[in-house]
Amino acid sequence: MRRPLSWRKTSRRKLLRLGVFAIRIISESVNVSSAVLHENQENRNVKKLRARFKLWLSTRDIEGVFGDGKWRLLKAIENTGSLTSASKSLRISYRKAWGDLKKAQDALNIALVEKQRGGILGGQTTLTEQGKKWVKAYTRFRDDTEKAVEKAYEKHIKVLLK
Q: Where are the domains of the chain?
A: 1-46, 56-161
The helix/strand/coil state of 49 is coil
Find the DSSP H helices in 83-157: 83-89, 94-108, 129-156
H/E run at residue 46: helix 5-47
Q: Are strands 124-127 and 66-67 parallel, antiparallel or unpaired?
A: unpaired
**Phi and psi for 3 in degrees, rounded to 5?**
-90, 160
Q: Tell me: the pLDDT tens digits for 4-39?
A: 555 444 444 444 444 443 333 333 434 444 444 455
Q: Where does residue 13 rank: exposed (0-12), middle (13-18), buried (19+ CB within 10 A)?
A: exposed
25 with 124: CB under 8 angstroms? no
pTM comes to: 0.69
| Domain 56-161 architecture | Orthogonal Bundle (1.10)
pLDDT average, residue stretch 96-115: 96
Q: Tell me: the pLDDT tens digits for 16-25?
A: 444 443 333 3
